Chain A
Amino acid sequence: MEITNEHIHGATILTLAGHFDVYATPTVEHLFQNIEAGSIPYFIINLSNVSFIDSTGLATLMIGEKRCRQQDGCLILFGIQKTVNVIFEVTHLNKILTIVNTREEAIERVQRLQES
Chain B
Amino acid sequence: MYVKRANDNFIRWFNANRNELTGLAQAWLEMGNRAVGIWGQQLLACWPASTWDELSKLQEPDMTLCASIKVEDIVVGRIGVLGVLQNLTRKARLDAETSLISQLLTMQTRFESAATELIAQAQLRVEIDMAANIQVQLLPRKFPQIEGLDIYGLSCPAMQVGGDFYDFSSFKNRPFVFAVGDVSGKGLSAALFMAMTRTILHTAARFMPTIDPSSILVRVNEDLYDDFSEVGMFATAFVGCYDIPSKQLTYTNAGHSPVIYCPVNGPTVFLGADSPPLGSLYTIPCKNHTLSLHANDVLIIGTDGLNESFNDAGEMFGYERLLQAVKDFSHLSSSEIVIELFNTITQFTGGYTQSDDQTLIVIKGVEKSCG
Contacts and interface: CB of A to CB of B under 8 A. Distances in A.
Given A54-B304, A60-B232, A62-B232, A86 B186 contact: no
A59 B273 contact: no
Given A59-B233, A59-B234, A92 B304 contact: no
Contact of A91 (B233, B255, B355): B255
Contacts, number: 69
Contacts of B356: 22, 54-55
A112 interface: no
Interface in A1-51: 21-23, 29
Interface string A57-71: 011101100100000
15 contacts: A22-B186, A22-B355, A54-B304, A54-B308, A54-B355, A55-B185, A55-B356, A58-B184, A90-B272, A91-B255, A91-B276, A93-B255, A95-B276, A96-B276, A96-B281
Contacts of A55: 163, 182-185, 234, 236, 304, 356
A54 B183 CA distance: 11
B185 A56 contact: yes
B275 interface: yes
Contacts of A95: 276
B202 to A, nearest CB: 22
B101 interface: no
A115 to B, nearest CB: 28
Interface of A: 21-23, 29, 52, 54-56, 58-60, 62-63, 66, 86-87, 89-93, 95-96
A90 B185 contact: no
A59 B272 CA distance: 20
A21 B355 contact: yes
A92 B232 contact: no
Nearest to B304: A55
Interface of B: 163, 182-186, 229, 232-234, 236, 254-258, 272-277, 280-281, 304, 308, 316, 319, 355-356
B304 A66 contact: no
Contacts of A90: 255, 257-258, 272-273
A93 B280 CA distance: 8
A92 B274 contact: yes
Q: A-B pairs with the 7 shortest C-beta distances?
A: A63-B232, A59-B184, A55-B184, A91-B255, A92-B276, A90-B257, A22-B186
Given A54-B355, A96-B276, A91 B281 contact: no
B130 to A, nearest CB: 23
Nearest to B303: A55
B277 A91 contact: yes
B308 A92 contact: no
Contacts of B277: 91-93
A86 B185 CA distance: 19
Nearest to B232: A63
Contacts of B316: 52
Contacts of B182: 55
Given A54-B304, A54-B308, A59-B232, A92 B255 contact: yes
B232 A91 contact: no
A63 B304 CA distance: 20
A52 B308 contact: yes
Contact of B280 (A21, A23, A52, A62): A62
A14 B275 CA distance: 28
Contacts of B308: 52, 54
A90 B308 CA distance: 13
A26 B185 CA distance: 11
